[in-house]
Structure 1
């Protein structure tokens, strides 16, 4: 008799449990090798209120949303647990010990999983590096265009009844991308995609990344340079670095002073990469034209954060990676990874076992 696979799908209001369940059912429904029906499944569903309720650090895991006790109750006897933001704590992993074969996380990094507990229980964790690179890259390029041309402030003024024809004054006009030099701090999956898009506009692209090789830069159409050269030579500086002790406040007062006068800073990576106080001072002094900020430290920012009131700041509430494609494709990709483990395969290469 074929074993019934017990699956737990823990979603939210972006990647729902139903979306995860449908993807798993589609992936497990037919044996790709023989065309025969796949194993029967029984799926438990649980959704958190995120993003209506913010995520938080929970019982040793980060950026999680949901109740660990409720998730642990569903994990008992489960063969797979698939989630976006649910807190896969030690309690949850221990509840699934003996039956749990794989944990799937639809994120670039599984920070909401207790990886040590999973390793101790011999449960592999698969996740999706670069899962939202398309959405983030398009956000970066789109907001660069808007901010360089002063469009957010102009639109806000018009909504308040102010027709600002002064945007045609020469000193207020901004560059087109084909005339701009854009510096990318970090040339991973997102940074490389941003470079490719910028190349289509005719921009000159510089990149700084100690871990990227010359081949990556060549394929992306970027020229590798030192950080100081990038800061001094770019009309736009866009951050795509991971947060480490070395990169925390990589854009500090000294870095901002090195940036070209009238340049633009874009941060869609991590708020902690930028010294916010130093950035506010650089904007107040008029050294920078403006900033595009989708991430903050902390999140959400304080209501009185002066950066949010700066007319040259285009700020959004961590939305760069939000798209229909990210939700649907993440569910489909993680379903393939999880199904491969459950059926004896090795996954499609996008996951990471622990």
Structure 2
């Protein structure tokens, strides 16, 4: 009897093993078995600290979790959302052929080590795009229209009417939104904010010019975008090339009435330069969901400013987003059993032939 394909799914405090089983099991292909287990990391706050470490230092930022090391030797296919998979963990996985990462970024995976071992890494692009796009719009409105500041004042018993942007509180029609990154989230922002009659610029070296034009977006270079935009929303992927992309020099190009919104990665922006620009009133405001230090200390310079809206890295959090993550993973993996194209979103393209060989192997088993 042919041994089944083992799928090991590592749950976490945001997407636990029970939910993984609930979503994946009805979609499980014939000839595959699912084993889902939870990474006992101690809750959402410790996990967020680990996530930040992995984003900054890679999967070796922490030792491989015991749950992963115990399960990975049985895995042909591994799913992880946040659990780090280092070179050490991969050494314990002789059967492993595919890693499915439940998000777009793969900072928690040692992709180079996986590639050396011929292991294919698939990410999940757009799994929380709706959640983040909605949240970015919320932050934009909250900062420009002083919603959070007014709310906080009322909670203190203060009927506040004076704000840092009193002379330039904007409405959105006719204003220009500059998007740094025109991927799934950026495109959704354009669709949603088109209803506000905004204009759109985007900087994205990988964007298709024809598709951008059809969406009503003018592609441009980054300095032009920084100069011309009334709102700048960051949606680029963090890579060695994009780290520090929004530099002190580029922030200095912004209009004095402009706002910067970041729901992507803190490392994309020179945070110290941004804080200085806000403190001096060089730009009107900012709205940030991501920070170089998380949780953000009360002593952080950003926390003392009155022209910035801050939130605790929650833009991608929704019950729909996490269930979508699991569904997108298993629907992608099912392509190995179905005819037609290979699974989408292969990160390490060097392993494409390995992925095809694995698909062919599964197809032969089904005969």
How high is the TM-score relative to the length of structure 1?
0.86
CA-to-aligned-CA distance 1:195-222 (integer Å, 9 cap, x gap): 2222121111112223323113213321
Note closer, same or farther for the CA distance 1:281–1:118 as it changes in structure 2 (3 Å cut).
Answer: closer
Structure 1 residues 272 and 215: CA distance shift in structure 2, 3 A: same
Q: Distance in 1 between matches of 2:12 and 2:151?
A: 33
Aligned-pair distance for 1:89? 2.0
2:12 is matched with: 12
**Residues 85 and 108 of structure 2 are in contact (CA less than 8 Å); yes or no, is this contact kept in structure 1?**
yes
Which residue of structure 2 aligns with residue 227 of structure 1?
222
Shift of 1:154: 0.7
Aligned to 1:70: 67
Counterpart in the other structure of 1:41: 33
Larger CA deviation: 235-244 vs 289-298 = 235-244
**Pairing 1:277–2:275 present:** no
CA 1:182/1:155 → structure 2, altered by over 3 Å: closer, same or farther? same
Secondary structure of the 1:178 match is coil
Say if 1:62 and 1:209 are closer, same or farther in 2 by CA, change over 3 A.
same
Q: Take 1:166 and 1:311, find their aligned partners in 2: how far apart are those partners? A: 11
Distance 1:170 1:101 in 2: 55
| Matches of 1:245 and 1:119, distance apart in 2 | 18
Query: Partners in 1 of 2:172 and 2:60 — Cα distance?
Result: 35
Give a deviation string over 1:67-88, Cα, whole Å, max 9, x none: 4343121122333221111122
Note if 1:125 corresponds to 2:121. yes
1:114-140 deviation line (CA, Å, top 9, x unaligned): 223323333322221222221111111
Q: For residue 14 of structure 2, give the secondary structure of its aligned residue in structure 1.
A: coil
Q: Is the 8 A contact 1:65 1:86 kept in 2?
A: no
- Count residues in correspondence: 343
RMSD of aligned C-alpha atoms?
2.7
CA shift in 2, pair 1:216/1:90, >3 Å: same
1:351 deviation in Å? 4.3
1:177 matched residue in structure 2: 172
Q: CA deviation at 1:95?
A: 2.0
CA shift in 2, pair 1:117/1:280, >3 Å: closer
Deviation of the 1:330 alpha carbon: 0.6
Alignment of 1:103-114 (within 5 A): 103-114=99-110
Could you tell me which residue of structure 1 aligns to residue 361 of structure 2? none
Deviation per residue, 1:119-176 (Å, 9 max, x gap): 3333322221222221111111121111111111111111111112447x99456222
Question: Which moves more between the two structures, 318-327 or 111-120?
Answer: 111-120
Question: Which sections of structure 2, spanning at least 5 residues, go unmatched?
Answer: 352-367
Contact 2:25 2:34 in 1 (8 A): no
**Is the deviation greater in 290-299 or in 146-155?**
290-299
Q: Is the 8 Å Cα contact of residues 147 and 290 (structure 1) preserved in structure 2?
A: yes
Structure 1, unpaired ranges of 5+: 30-37
SS at match of 1:237: strand
8 Å contact from structure 1 (residues 196, 221) kept in 2: no
Quick check: which one's helix share is greater?
2
The secondary structure found in structure 2 opposite 1:288 is coil
Asked whether 1:162 is paired with 2:158, we answer yes
- The corresponding residue for 1:142 is 138
Is 1:237 aligned with 2:243?
no
Does residue 191 of the first structure (1) align with residue 182 of the second (2)? no
CA distance in structure 2 between the aligned counterparts of 1:94 and 1:61, rounded to whole angstroms: 17
Query: Which position in structure 1 is the counterpart of 2:283?
Result: 288
